[in-house]
Amino acid sequence: MLKIEEIKELIKLIDETAIDEFTYEFDGAKIELKKRKVEAAFIANQTFNQENVQANLAPKAPARSANAIDDSKASVKTAETEENSSELHKITSPMVGTFYASPKPDADPYVTIGSKVKENTVVCIVEAMKLFNEIEAEVKGEIVDVLVENGQLVEYGQPLFLVKPE
């Protein structure tokens, strides 16, 4: 039987590759790993409702809050940021997990639109398998857009923030 550390290493390796499904069987034990997929247009437009995500992808995802972005505003914001995207740096998720904008539910977010960041500034947390991974800005600049909502399931490589480099 595999030890928990070996299973964690397998998950990490599968997460970093293009493999979508992996099955391992040995001495009557079986481990199946499957990545969750989200349609590209679904993410790019951010015009979905949290109930669909909750029902189809993340049974533990929190319900959409009353102050969530409305669809028309999200579409306009996406169009504006696409125009300037060639000069912007994307901070992407290094793993599949749950995005958290702050260290605690009642704390202020690490960064907001307009925040100045350096290469080692923590911008968010992505939780994967009860491990909380701090994500750093990677560049010096200013946050111009936050592309995901707090508590949202994120995919490997999914853009989280847009930064205007200095």
Same domain, 68 and 105: yes
Same domain, 95 and 149: yes
Closest to 135 measured CA to CA, from 107, 108, 97, 84: 97
Contact 139, 119 (CB under 8 A): yes
| Residue 112 vs residue 15, higher pLDDT | 112
Same domain, 72 and 152: yes
**The pLDDT of residue 85 is above 70:** no
Same domain, 45 and 29: no
Which pLDDT does position 69 carry in this prediction? 42
User: For all residues of the chain together, what is the average pLDDT?
Assistant: 75
Same domain, 12 and 44: no
Same domain, 53 and 11: no
Same domain, 64 and 23: no
Question: What are the pLDDT digits (tens) for 3-59?
Answer: 777 777 878 877 777 777 778 777 777 777 777 654 443 444 343 444 444 444 444
Strands ordered across the beta sheet of 131-136 = 131-136, 122-128, 97-100, 153-154
Tally DSSP H helices, then E strands, for the chain.
4, 10
Same domain, 18 and 66: no
**The pLDDT of residue 98 is above 80:** yes
The pTM of this model reads 0.51
Contact 111, 138 (CB under 8 A): no
Same domain, 57 and 105: yes
Cα four-point dihedral sign 52, 62, 137, 108: positive
Give the count of domains, the chain: 2
Range of the domain at 86: 36-165
Same domain, 21 and 42: no
Same domain, 25 and 106: no
Residue 137 belongs to a domain with what CATH number? 2.40.50.100
pLDDT over 70 percentage in the chain: 68
Same domain, 62 and 139: yes
**The pLDDT of residue 163 is above 70:** yes
Query: How far, in Å, CA of 11 to CA of 101, rounded?
Result: 24
